[in-house]
Amino acid sequence: MKAAQLLDEGHALKRHSWKNPGYITKDKEGVIVFFDHNEPSVYQLTAEDALASDWEASAKDNWKIVSVSHDRELMEGRLFISYHIRSENEGHILNNHIVPQEELSLWSTYVDLDLEESARHLNEQDVATVQHTLSA
C-alpha cells in the first residue's frame, strides 16, 4: 500500500473525505499519530481507513523557533530550556507552542521544523543547542 510507504518515509497523510483538520504521521517509535495542529494523539486505524483509496499527502505544519528560554528551576537548581514556536500550515499561522527541550526531538517528527528560518531569530549558541537537541 502506497500510504504505508509514505508514512514510513516520514510524510504526512490525510483522507480526502476527512472533515476535521489534521493529518497522520509516524513517530520515531513507529506509532502512527494524528496531529490536529495542536497536539498529537494515537491514531486508531479503522477498517474503512485501511481499505480507503482517498489517502493523499498533506503538508506538515511548519514550525519556526522564535526564541529559546533558559530558566533555572528553583527547587532543583538545574537549567530548564524551552523553545517558543510559531506554527504555520499552508500559509496560515495556527498557534504558538512552548516545547521543553527534552520533547523537541519527538515533536519534530509531527511537523517540519524550519531550522534555517529559526536561525534568523536565534543567536549562534541557541542554534547550536537546537541542533544538538535534535541530533540526540
What pTM value is reported for the model? 0.80
Average pLDDT over residues 50-63: 90
Angle at 50 (CA atoms; ends 87, 58), nearest 5 degrees: 25
Alpha helices in the chain (DSSP H): 2-8, 47-51, 101-107, 115-119, 124-135
> What does R_g of the chain's alpha carbons equal in angstroms?
17
Average pLDDT over residues 11-15: 93
What's the first-to-final CA gap in the chain, in angstroms?
A: 32
How many angstroms separate the CA atoms of 28 and 10, rounded? Answer: 9
At 49 the pLDDT is 87
CB 25 within 8 A of CB 10: yes
The confidence band for 21, taking pLDDT boundaries of 50, 70 and 90, is confident
At 77 the pLDDT is 65
CB 3 within 8 A of CB 53: no
The confidence band for 25, taking pLDDT boundaries of 50, 70 and 90, is very high
At 35 the pLDDT is 92
At 58 the pLDDT is 92
The confidence band for 55, taking pLDDT boundaries of 50, 70 and 90, is very high
The confidence band for 1, taking pLDDT boundaries of 50, 70 and 90, is low
